[in-house]
Chain A
Amino acid sequence: MEGSIALLGFGEGGWGPSIASGILVTVSLALATLPLGLAVGFFVALGKQSSEPSVKLAANMYTTIFRGLPELLTLFLVYFGGQIGIQKLGQLFGYTGTIEINSFIAGMFAMGTVFSSYASEVFLSAFRAIPKGQYEGGYAIGLSNGQTMRKVILPQLIRIALPGLGNLWMILLKDTALVSAIGLADILRQTAVAARVTKHAFLFYGTACMIYLALAILSSFVIDGIDRWAAKSGVKR
């Protein structure tokens, strides 16, 4: 028992610092993915509820493809495919050296596409929950299309979509563990290195699970807080 505390600690021969840096990488990757995924997801949802069939088709194809692919495969497609694509682009401009893609950026894009395809569904059902009268009311008092969206629809939309987006955040946090497969030093990667070196695999992988669990509990507190804050501005019933 004492040996395990020393192994996980921050002292001599302890793996505490490297695991802590792994936590930092995991959290920053998830936080960096979130705005990208939310923005893309929102615009895809806008496309899906468009009255123009061609926009709808394009948006639906996006979701069908990225919800049907395994997350790990999406990650590899972005990582290896992006590498080859940039290499080809470089050759076109006469650059012949090897180009390496940053695994953090690759992870961010891959997780962002997966997140946005799920988020678009959440936003879409939130859009459908807002009555048409809200748009008409906005136009009736002389707001433009964009103003109605920004000042009337969006505040309600966010409140309705929050629980669904909270679930997606939890999924995103867990999915970031996959980037350890392309060599990013996140929680799972760091604990895997520690497990290989020290031969205490159960201890370190168990620790990794507990850290993910702690992050999930922490986020559920934060999401509850945001939920309460958003509900305050809603209609009192």
Chain B
Amino acid sequence: MTESLVNARTPTVLRPPAPPKGWTRSRVFGYLLVGLWIALLLGLVVYLYSAWNIELVKKYGPTYLSGLGTTITLVGSSIILGAVLSIPVVLGRLSKNRIIASIAYFYVYFFRGTPLIAQVFLIYYGVGSFSKELQSVGLWIFFREAWFCALLAFGLNTAAYQAEILRGAIRSVPLGQWEGAASLGISKSVTFRKIILPQALIVALRPYGNEVILMIKGSAIVALISVYDLMGYTKLAYSRTFDFQTYLWTAIIYLILVEILRHLWDWMERRITRHLIR
């Protein structure tokens, strides 16, 4: 009797269903797809091996490296420029003054609503066409250089995106945090610096990472205004050799760069949110 009682009290625990054995339809399909990928990657490796040309590597390898350097410095400096420029834009977006708020809104709308390549052309060719006026105010040295024009266009563009990221992150901090600090008699600026911003930056970290990756990918278009970044040297190498492997190597380099950044950001996010894991 006791036995039956015990049995009645222990509920039968349902195990999750075991994965299907044998060759189900989706498994066959999946193996086919993975096989296709492996075949493609093997084909790529075999092609790159068979097309290996030491002359080509000797001639264009160093230019690829310097191009990669240009890409990284251009993206790095435009991200920093954008971060600086985004602060007044965020203040404008959060301002209670309607004129300032609408100016900031239009700035963000313009730079997010038009293609980056059109903005780069507008600054390099468009502003550059006023060479006489620019010479008279001494700005011609700046706008003559394609690199500086790209930096300015990228900086203005990413400032608009970064401003939206920062604004969303600041908004995501609950109002109670402001009120709690105010009730302790902490001034507004200290509240912002020591209470709101640290919490907002955790929220903003992931979108910032996405923005950096988008900038690295977007920076390839400077090759079209004759800045020799990684893409620029690739175009040069292809136009001289008509060897398709020039593009494939660049694709591999960009993929590695983006994957490194993505994993770096995952690691950063894990580290900075350690205190939130219970």
Q: Residues of A with Cβ closer than 8 Å to B? A: 47, 50-59, 61, 64-65, 67-73, 76-77, 80-81, 84, 170, 174-175, 177-178, 180-181, 188, 192, 195, 199-206, 208-209, 212-213, 216-217
Interface residues of B in 182-240 (CB under 8 A from A): 216-221, 223-224, 231, 238
Q: Residues of B with Cβ closer than 8 Å to A? A: 19, 24, 26-27, 29-31, 33-34, 36-37, 109-110, 113-119, 121-122, 125-130, 216-221, 223-224, 231, 238, 244, 247-248, 250-251, 254-255, 258-259
Determine whether the beta carbon of A175 is less than 8 Å from that of B115: yes
Residues of B near A54 (CB, < 8 A) are 27, 30-31, 33-34
Residues of B near A205 (CB, < 8 A) are 118, 121-122, 125-126
Determine whether the beta carbon of A65 is less than 8 Å from that of B29: no
User: Among the listed B115, B220, B258, which residue makes an inter-chain contact with A212, where contact means beta carbons less than 8 Å apart?
Assistant: B115
Determine whether the beta carbon of B110 is less than 8 Å from that of A213: yes
User: Among the listed A51, A174, A206, A216, which residue makes an inter-chain contact with B116, where contact means beta carbons less than 8 Å apart?
Assistant: A174
Determine whether the beta carbon of A178 is less than 8 Å from that of B221: yes
Using known A-B contacts A80-B244, A181-B224, determine if residue A209 contacts B118 with beta carbons closer than 8 Å. yes
Nearest opposing residue in chain A for B244, CB measure: A84
A201 to B238, CA, bound (A): 29
Expressed in whole angstroms, the minimum distance between the Cβ of A118 and any Cβ of chain B is 11
A-B contact count (CB 8 A): 137
Most buried by A among B216, B247, B248, B251: B251
| A-B contact sample (15 more), CB < 8 A, given A50-B26, A73-B250, A217-B113 | A54-B30, A55-B26, A58-B36, A65-B255, A68-B254, A69-B251, A70-B218, A71-B218, A175-B115, A177-B115, A178-B117, A195-B125, A206-B122, A212-B115, A213-B110
Most buried by A among B110, B121, B130, B244: B121
A216 to B129, CA, bound (A): 27
Determine whether the beta carbon of A202 is less than 8 Å from that of B27: no
User: Among the listed B33, B126, B217, B238, which residue makes an inter-chain contact with A71, where contact means beta carbons less than 8 Å apart?
Assistant: B217
User: Among the listed A55, A64, A77, A201, which residue makes an inter-chain contact with B33, where contact means beta carbons less than 8 Å apart?
Assistant: A55
Determine whether the beta carbon of B113 is less than 8 Å from that of A213: yes
Nearest opposing residue in chain A for B129, CB measure: A201
Nearest opposing residue in chain A for B24, CB measure: A52
A175 to B27, CA, bound (A): 36
Using known A-B contacts A201-B126, A213-B110, determine if residue A72 contacts B221 with beta carbons closer than 8 Å. yes
Using known A-B contacts A65-B255, A174-B116, determine if residue A73 contacts B129 with beta carbons closer than 8 Å. no
Expressed in whole angstroms, the minimum distance between the Cβ of B220 and any Cβ of chain A is 4
Nearest opposing residue in chain B for A216, CB measure: B113
